[in-house]
Amino acid sequence: MTKRREIADGMKTRIAPLLASVQARLGPLAGMLRPILVPFLAVVSALMIGAIVIAISGRNPLLAYAGLIDGSWGSGRAIAGTLVRMTPYVFGGLAVALAFRAGLFNIGGEGQLLLGTLAGAWVGYQLALPAVIHLPLALLAGVLAGFIWGGIPGFLKSRTGAHEVITTIMLNYLAIGLAGWLLNDNRLMKDPSPTNVIARTPLIAESAHLPALIPGQDAYPSASAAPEIVHWGVVLAVLATIAASFFLWRTVWGFEVRTVGANPSAGRYAGINVPRVITLIMGVSGALAGLGGAIQVTAVNYRAILGFNVGYGFDAIAIALLGKNNPFGVLLAALLFASLRSGSTRMQSLSGVNADIIAVIQALILIFVAADQLVRWLYRIRARGLEERTTLTRGWGR
């Protein structure tokens, strides 16, 4: 006990002045870096524990992390793969973050994205239109499907008080059931070609393809090729981030959303139509996830496939939490998660560490971010002022 105390005190006396001197030297920059200090330390701590787990499993953690970096940022192709993987994460993370700002926890990202892929793919293969109309229509279909699938729990929450965590989880399974039904039946949406045994739609028309960012790369090898071509969806993701940020802090709607999240009663007294805000923000949240799905269809897979996005909803939650529900934070967090994901294959081939370690590291990051007191206590950082805190458990089980 005393030994632990000694070590802790030692850390306190050594690290605290170090941080203070760094802060003094960096001056104004430190003020800018402060909001990302805790998430950054959370990532560092998680990577360190991850290294210990890897070492215990008898592998070389340094080699593993070298592979991780090489696989995600080591070459042009690697960077492209990372950016492409980042795109759906950004939309999912923004979806969770926006709902979170209104005090709502959207676990339904997986179902909303799935509906977005189904709608986008249907428009993509069913209709024959010029590209100028076809592509936007396919994306819009994804937005609309996501809006409906996210709006239902919002509507139920505002009218009957049904907690969105339960309803979004149930809607995930309903979406999976719906997709299973549609994609396994030749008369519905299943690819009817005689050789096909997979639950997937036919390929979408070329007029619904989201083009590559660099025109020369428009070769579109095959739909199953690794995602190594940066498409316009990446730009859309960045634009969505800017739009979400503008929406939250520069519009009346954003103000209403944040007020409802901070204190619904205060919002009601201020004349905000709380039920409408709740329904709409859940719809918008779902629409973002749905758009992410439609982009995945029109830019990467060129069809909807059952079961390619298992766990997407939880990844989206992790990204929103790591990004502190700030759109730009979400962008950074999505980039980090995409890097982990896209580097994991190279890591496995280089060091023999199973790619599932990524999920462990992600969970550890989350623990440190969620319990930020833990990070503050570990690194002796004092909290500055009161942070905006939202209670998600309000009205649980109603």
Query: What residues line the site for other proteins (CB under 8 A)?
Result: 53, 57, 105, 107, 156, 160-163, 165-167, 169-171, 173-174, 177-178, 180-181, 184-185, 310-311, 314, 317-318, 321, 354, 356-364, 366-367, 370-371, 373-374, 390-394, 396-398
H helices of the chain, in order, are 2-26, 28-56, 61-73, 76-101, 109-126, 131-160, 164-183, 232-250, 252-262, 264-269, 274-296, 312-322, 327-351, 357-370, 372-379
CB of 303 to other proteins, least distance (A): 19
> Taking a C-beta distance cutoff of 8 angstroms, is the pair 173, 294 a contact?
no
If the CB atoms of residues 127 and 363 are measured against other proteins, the closer one turns out to be 363
Phi-psi region of 229 (alpha: psi -120 to 50; beta: other; left: phi over 0): beta
If the CB atoms of residues 47 and 363 are measured against other proteins, the closer one turns out to be 363
CB of 335 to other proteins, least distance (A): 19
CB of 31 to other proteins, least distance (A): 27
Distance CA 374, CA 304 (A): 42
Q: In this structure, what token pair is assigned to residue 227?
A: 């995602």
If the CB atoms of residues 101 and 134 are measured against other proteins, the closer one turns out to be 101
Q: Which of 327, 315, 376, 372 is nearest to 85 (CA)?
A: 315
If the CB atoms of residues 96 and 208 are measured against other proteins, the closer one turns out to be 96
The amino acid that residue 78 corresponds to is A
If the CB atoms of residues 253 and 396 are measured against other proteins, the closer one turns out to be 396
If the CB atoms of residues 147 and 337 are measured against other proteins, the closer one turns out to be 337
Distance CA 49, CA 45 (A): 6
If the CB atoms of residues 13 and 57 are measured against other proteins, the closer one turns out to be 57
If the CB atoms of residues 228 and 315 are measured against other proteins, the closer one turns out to be 315
Residues 101, 330, 233: CA angle, nearest 5 degrees:
115
CB of 179 to other proteins, least distance (A): 8
CB of 58 to other proteins, least distance (A): 9
If the CB atoms of residues 298 and 339 are measured against other proteins, the closer one turns out to be 339
CB of 83 to other proteins, least distance (A): 24
> Taking a C-beta distance cutoff of 8 angstroms, is the pair 299, 209 a contact?
yes
Q: In this structure, what token pair is assigned to residue 46?
A: 């998680």
Distance CA 271, CA 131 (A): 44
H helices of 200-326, in order, are 232-250, 252-262, 264-269, 274-296, 312-322
CB of 269 to other proteins, least distance (A): 22
Q: Which of 122, 112, 128 is nearest to 298 (CA)?
A: 122
CB of 219 to other proteins, least distance (A): 35
Distance CA 202, CA 125 (A): 7
If the CB atoms of residues 37 and 178 are measured against other proteins, the closer one turns out to be 178
Close Cβ partners of 39 (under 8 Å, ≥ 6 residues apart): 322, 323, 324, 329, 333, 369
Q: In this structure, what token pair is assigned to residue 39?
A: 């998430």
CB of 170 to other proteins, least distance (A): 4
> Taking a C-beta distance cutoff of 8 angstroms, is the pair 33, 397 a contact?
no
CB of 67 to other proteins, least distance (A): 16
Distance CA 392, CA 396 (A): 8
